[in-house]
Structure 1
Amino acid sequence: MVPASSAPDAPQAQNRALAGELIVNGQRYHLVPAEPSASPATAPAPDVRLLTSRELQVVSCVCAGWGNKQIATKLNISTWTVAAHLRRIFVKLGVDTRAAMVSRCLGALSLPPPP
């Protein structure tokens, strides 16, 4: 076991996390604060009909099992834009994961096939 004081990059990793940046397996991720969720008793029922047509395209691609890079390539947008769409979709549907999003959307309406 390596002591915390001698662990390489421990202070740097903590500073990066505080600055909104996370590096995992060489991939750099920018952390974006999520909107605080309302309590379930006061939150309105999520409605898939609130999603835009582009968000529905992203949902259908996720339902097909595609990752962000594949979705970005198919929709001719950046991976950052895909992530932004997913964040907005999560907020609108009141979910925290892709699996919960798919579960919520599959029974709600017939999604268009992925482009």
Structure 2
Amino acid sequence: MARLSPRFHMLVLACEALTTSDDAALDLFERALTLVEPADRPFDVARVRLLYGERLRRRRATGRAQEQLLLASKTFEELGAAPWAARATAGLRACGHAAAAGPRQGRGALTAQEWQIASLAASGLTNKQIAERLFLSHRTIGTHLYQIYPKLGIGSRAALPDALAALQPAEPGPGRPVR
């Protein structure tokens, strides 16, 4: 594999590391990360860092895990790979690392589920009615709303319709492209 491509060699070593259960796995991850420049293959290197960081975290090497997970998270965010960035961020939280979280603005401040819950609550449904529609507990709905309010900068359910309306993109009109 090494003769074919350094990238393939890196990926093969990472796969071998995933199937190895002792300290040899850590050595395989280290070797894999020396084969490719991060700038040349940022996504692939970040995936290997993510896997390595997760392995380190499970072995309770939190300092080294945080280092790998931070690098992976940063790269995924720069690439716009949101699901991968979320996985790396979750790994960081599991290590006890407090994510640098400033309030996001716009619709992106809410997850898809939070957006759905907020929209249903803004339409006048109770927590129990929302829970029945989404097959969740009414307490889970309450928890989501509790987390949604600060993200939207509001303090009550009554302010939800206006807050959500402010996040909606402008209606397409003459001269405005439809996306």
**Structure 1 residue aligned with 2:53:** none
Matches of 1:46 and 1:99, distance apart in 2: 20
Q: 5+ residue gaps in structure 2? A: 1-101, 170-179
**Structure 2 residue aligned with 1:60:** 119
| Aligned residue-pair number | 68
**Structure 2 residue aligned with 1:100:** 159
Deviating more after overlay: 65-74 vs 47-56: 47-56
Higher RCO structure, 1 or 2 (CA under 8 Å, sep 6+): 1
Matches of 2:105 and 2:162, distance apart in 1: 13
Counterpart contact for 2:123–2:161, Cα < 8 Å: no
Letter matched to residue 147 of structure 2: R
TM-score w.r.t. the length of structure 1 is: 0.53
Deviation (angstroms), 1:77: 0.2
Letter matched to residue 107 of structure 1: A
Matches of 2:107 and 2:149, distance apart in 1: 11
Q: 5+ residue gaps in structure 1? A: 1-42, 111-115
**Structure 1 residue aligned with 2:140:** 81
- Cα RMSD over matched residues? 2.0
Indicate whether 1:70 and 2:129 are aligned: yes
Deviating more after overlay: 65-74 vs 90-99: 90-99
TM-score w.r.t. the length of structure 2 is: 0.35
